[in-house]
Amino acid sequence: MKRASIKDIARIAEVSVATVSYVLNRKEGSRISEATRKKVFEVAENINYTPNKIARSLKMSKSKLIGLIVADISNDFYSNIARNIEDEAMKLGYTLLIGSCDENPEKFRKLTELFSEQQVDGMIIAPVVDSDEAINKLIREEYPVVTIDRYLKNVSLPGVMINNAEISEYICDHLVSRKFDEIIYVGYDTELPHLLDRQDGFDRRISESGISAKRILIGIHTIAEEIPVKLKENIDLSKRTAVYFSSNKLGIAGLRYLIDSNIKVPEDLSVVAFDETEAYYLFPTEISFVQQPLTDMAKESVNLLDSQISNYTPDGKRVTLNARFMERGSVE
């Protein structure tokens, strides 16, 4: 007969493998509720679970593993933030496991389960649309979790973000001061709050300016197809126009269209984009961009997670850091 395992207990008790391991192997500093502990022990007894003494002895201490789930590792922002988090985690003795969910909530959920099975001590996550259920499951299991870059309105977790609304207000004010005939905001058709914050900041300022404005919203998964079509429809070169791309992926796709269409920056069109990326430096004109404080974001997120791992107190604290506008030669 096959011996019962902690995976069997987790399945029956409807909790993660990591939660079962924590309950069965750790005697002090528990972050698991008493009701969950009781349920796990009852299931273990009912299925006659007998722990492997060698495995148990290895798991009496923390794993010193933490998981990082990003939205898209191919994005320069997330690859750079992952590298910075890895560096900060190593300073505290942690090894980092990295997963990319490609903006897919089902893949996001599977990554949380995979990291749980790997018995990571906690997770740093960039939430995606419809990832609420997977995150709330981690919260119910009292799992140390910190958000980075993004947040969800209906989920209270410690996290690190930038001043998205304020930096967009600043960009809008900067462009308004240059007396353009028209300013175009290029953003995402999304429910993600941090991206809506960027849009709202721009909208507030432009509505007060009296300058003609357009808003172009692009699907997160259809950037390459939509950008050329919508820019062609909306850019009027007879007007003195500026375009604000609110992410680096939108910016790169937009700059590619401008090159293909032989539209010169800033002679024909002024441009500001979000995030720093090597691609901007390959463009004939240096692009003005919003620089996010990657090192500080990484340090804050790792410290917040380490604090939770040491003493589980998810108070929902969010740290907001300031991004900077790096003015280059793409605005005339």
pLDDT of residue 2: 58
> Residue 85 in contact with residue 301, Cβ under 8 Å?
yes
Task: Return the amino acid letter for 191.
Answer: E
Measured distance CA(284)–CA(287) in Å, rounded: 9
- Structurally, at CATH architecture level, domain 65-161+294-322 sits in 3-Layer(aba) Sandwich (3.40)
CATH superfamily of 164-292: Response regulator (3.40.50.2300)
- Structurally, at CATH architecture level, domain 6-58 sits in Orthogonal Bundle (1.10)
When pLDDT is cut at 50, 70 and 90, the band that residue 117 belongs to is confident
In this prediction, residues 135-139 reach a mean pLDDT of: 91
Tell whether pTM > 0.85: no
> Residue 217 in contact with residue 202, Cβ under 8 Å?
no
Closest Cα partner for 188 from 241, 281, 258, 251?
Answer: 251
- Residue whose pair of structure tokens reads 């197809």 in the numeric block: 225
Q: How many CB atoms lie within 10 A of CB 293?
A: 16
Measured distance CA(34)–CA(36) in Å, rounded: 5
The full set of domain ranges for the chain reads 6-58, 65-161+294-322, 164-292
pLDDT of residue 312: 62
- Position 143 pLDDT exceeds 90: no
Closest Cα partner for 104 from 271, 208, 220, 10?
Answer: 220
Strand ranges of the sheet holding 159-162, from the earlier edge strand across to the other edge: 95-100, 65-70, 122-125, 145-148, 159-162, 318-321
What residues contact 221, with CB distance under 8 A and at least 6 apart? 103
164-292 shares the fold of 6-58: no
Comparing 12-16, 44-48, 311-315, the range with the smallest average pLDDT is: 311-315
pLDDT of residue 59: 46
- Position 82 pLDDT exceeds 50: yes
pLDDT of residue 298: 97
- Position 141 pLDDT exceeds 90: no
Structure confidence by residue, pLDDT tens digits, 157-173: 999 999 999 999 999 99
Measured distance CA(172)–CA(166) in Å, rounded: 10
What residues contact 319, with CB distance under 8 A and at least 6 apart? 158, 159, 160, 161, 300, 304
What residues contact 290, with CB distance under 8 A and at least 6 apart? 167, 171, 272, 273, 274, 275, 323, 324, 325, 326
When pLDDT is cut at 50, 70 and 90, the band that residue 15 belongs to is confident
pLDDT of residue 53: 42
Q: Which residues of 91-129 are buried (b: 16+ CB within 10 A; e: fewer)?
A: eeebebbbbbbebbbeebbebbbebbeebbbbbbbbbbb
> Residue 125 in contact with residue 148, Cβ under 8 Å?
yes
> Residue 62 in contact with residue 95, Cβ under 8 Å?
no
Structure confidence by residue, pLDDT tens digits, 17-59: 778 877 776 544 456 787 888 888 888 878 877 665 434 434 4
When pLDDT is cut at 50, 70 and 90, the band that residue 228 belongs to is very high
In this prediction, residues 129-133 reach a mean pLDDT of: 94
- Position 330 pLDDT exceeds 70: yes
* Mean pLDDT for all residues in the chain: 90
- Position 61 pLDDT exceeds 90: no
pLDDT of residue 167: 98
Compute the C-alpha angle 227/233/239, nearest 5°: 110
pLDDT of residue 16: 83
pLDDT of residue 51: 61
